[in-house]
Structure 1
Amino acid sequence: MVTMEERRARVREVRRRLVREGPARTRDREADFEKVTVPERACDQLRDLLIREGAQTVVEVGLAYASSALAIGEALITVHAPHPRHVIIDPFQERAWSNVGWDLLCSAGLDSIASLVLAPSSIGLPRLLAEGLAADAAFVDGSHRFHEVFVDLYFLRKIVRPGGLIVVDDAWTPSVRTAVHYYERNLGWRAIPDAFPGETVTAAGAAPQAGPGSRCRAFRLPDPSFEPPFEEFRAF
């Protein structure tokens, strides 16, 4: 029987190899892996945050080269819940990424707890909600268009349990930052300031720099959840 430590070691080896050697294949764009993938440090911080949270079910929007998905899988294995679940939504994984991220998850043995939804998040998330999925946390790294981020967050606040976590990547971008700010101002989301310490970026693919912000930001949902009266709308 494979032990938890053996499973974790297998995931960590795949993660190390991805950082050291890069993926087996990339899209035909210059430095695409370096520009797209979530950096190792941020992935470690995401893993540690989910472990502290005791997360057992996680929804992820965007797979790409699977750096964050591998970190989430490592966290779920470490928590050692009886029925861990990692639901990943990425409509482009097959046709744009040639399944490179999913293949990495399979090589790490994480396909036993992960499932891939090959549909836009605006379709996949409502399906999960209709199925009654309840998650402890979500990681959002899909489309960065404001309206699509806003819709992702709308459905995730209904899927992630009250008091759970929603983590967003590229929180420095105006579109992502503005979408999140609505939920902070109007729906009681509370930023966790020390979740991703020590790094910030100023442009997509730029090298991390010391600074006051971070590429990723984590938010605690209110418990209990609530719907505000329409008269109390706060501009964002």
Structure 2
Amino acid sequence: MTTRIRETRRRLAREGPVRTRPVERDFETISLPEADCDRLRDLLLAERAETVVEVGLAYGSSALAIGEALVAAGRPRPRHVVIDPFQRSIFSDAGWDVLCAAGLAAISELLTEWSSTALPRLLAGGLVADAAFVDGSHRFHEVFVDLYFLRKLVRPGGLVVLDDTDAPSVGAAVRYYERNLGWTEIPDAFAGGTAGRCRAYRLPAAVTEPPFEDFVP
């Protein structure tokens, strides 16, 4: 099955999706580049991740990399929860269709709603993830809320990976968690990829709440 996924990934990177939004070079602009997808896959594979939450699907490049890692890890119950409120209405299921073409429908679940409502519902349902990949809204307040709930959904010591951290809004949101809540960036996790774009963070071994007086700007 990993061969089928890799072939689908290569074809998507080489030829692009069957359909795109009517925006010039939309796929090339918003999709995670193939080299960064490789590094994301390798991170999750080294983690032996079994459950991964992804915020933002679009054309499916990163989702295929995550699916490849989940299958290759060989864990008994791989699960990929993908959240994208615009997958059907704006992207015409382009990303979901490519996941299905790769044979990943059985381990994938698509939630076509805002992450701000999906993530707390997953938390209330008892989901525990090994890792998360965040590439949804790039508005500061929405990234911040995504990370707030992922901090509770991802197991202690797990991984949170973000795309487009070179955007000031995304970078500022994750810096709060790094400076105040003990998230530790994994050095060189995306070395050789797109400079400054993706960063991976290791969560602390336990969830603790610091006194409000200790806030670090």
Give the one of 174, 193, 198 matched to 1:216.
198
Q: Identity of aligned pairs, percent?
A: 67
Matched, 1:229 2:186: no
SS of 1:132's equivalent in the other structure is: coil
Amino acid in structure 1 at the alignment position of 2:48: G
The answer (yes or no) to whether the contact 1:197–1:214 under 8 Å persists in 2 is no
Partner of 1:205: none
Cα distance in structure 2, aligned partners of 1:199 and 1:115 = 28
Cα distance in structure 2, aligned partners of 1:136 and 1:47 = 14
Partner of 2:85: 91
SS of 1:83's equivalent in the other structure is: coil
The answer (yes or no) to whether the contact 1:58–1:87 under 8 Å persists in 2 is yes
Residues 52-201 of structure 1 correspond to what in structure 2 (within 5 A)?
Answer: 52-200=46-194
Normalised TM-score (structure 2): 0.99
SS of 1:165's equivalent in the other structure is: strand
- Gap regions ≥5 residues in structure 1: 1-6, 201-212
Cα distance in structure 1, aligned partners of 2:117 and 2:148 = 13
Question: RMSD value over aligned CA atoms?
Answer: 0.7
Partner of 1:210: none
Cα distance in structure 2, aligned partners of 1:193 and 1:66 = 26
The answer (yes or no) to whether the contact 1:198–1:214 under 8 Å persists in 2 is no
- Structure 1 residue 198 displacement after superposition: 2.2
The answer (yes or no) to whether the contact 1:58–1:135 under 8 Å persists in 2 is yes
SS of 1:195's equivalent in the other structure is: coil
**Once superposed, which parts of structure 1, at least 4 consecutive aligned residues long, lie more than 6 Å away?**
none
Amino acid in structure 2 at the alignment position of 1:170: D
Give the one of 44, 47, 60 matched to 1:50.
44
Amino acid in structure 1 at the alignment position of 2:205: D
Matched, 1:29 2:23: yes
Deviations for 1:107-126, whole angstroms, at most 9, x for unmatched residues? Answer: 10101100000100001001
Size of the alignment, in residue pairs?
Answer: 217
Deviations for 1:159-184, whole angstroms, at most 9, x for unmatched residues? Answer: 00000000000010000000000001
Amino acid in structure 1 at the alignment position of 2:85: P
The answer (yes or no) to whether the contact 1:45–1:195 under 8 Å persists in 2 is yes
- Gap regions ≥5 residues in structure 2: none
Normalised TM-score (structure 1): 0.91
Deviations for 1:40-88, whole angstroms, at most 9, x for unmatched residues? Answer: 0000000000000110000000000000000000000000110000000
SS of 2:85's equivalent in the other structure is: coil
